[in-house]
Structure 1
Amino acid sequence: MRLNDLDERIVHALAEDARRSYADIGEEVGLSAPAVKRRVDRLRAEGAITGFTVRVDPAALGWETEGFIELYCRRNTSPEDIHRGLNRYPEVVSASTVTGDADAIVQVFASDMRHFERVLERIAGEPFVERTKSVLVLSPLLRRFGSGAPA
Structure 2
Amino acid sequence: MDTIDEKIIKMLSANARESFATIGKSVDLSAPAVGKRVKQLEDKGFILGYSLRLNHEKLGVNVKAYINLKIHQSSTLRTAYNQIKYLDEVQRCDRITGEDSLCILAYFKSNKELVILLERISQYGVPNTSIILES
Query: Where in structure 1 are there 5+ consecutive unaligned residues?
Result: 141-151
Aligned partners of 1:34 and 1:82: how far apart in 2? 46
How many residues are matched?
135
Q: CA deviation at 1:80?
A: 3.4
Rounded to whole Å, the distance in 1 between the matches of 2:65 and 2:133 is 9
Q: Which amino acid aligns with 1:98?
A: I
1:79 Cα deviation after fit: 5.5
* Residue matched to 1:104: 102
Match of 2:129 in 1: 134
Residue 101 and residue 29 in structure 1: after superposition, are their counterparts in 2 closer, same or farther (change >3 A)? farther
> Where in structure 2 are the equivalents of 1:11-26 lying within 5 Å?
11-26=9-24
**Which stretches of structure 1, 4 residues or more, deviate above 6 A after TM superposition?**
none
Equivalent residue letter for 1:49: I
Specify the alignment match of 2:33 in structure 1: 35
Q: Aligned-pair RMSD on alpha carbons?
A: 1.9
How far apart are the structure 1 equivalents of 2:121 and 2:6?
38
Instruction: Tell me the percent identity.
Output: 27
Change (3 A) 1:80 1:35: farther
Structure 1 equivalent of residue 89 of structure 2: 91
Q: Which has the higher contact order (CA 8 A, sep 6+)?
A: 1
Contact 2:68 2:129 (C-alpha < 8 Å) held by counterparts: yes
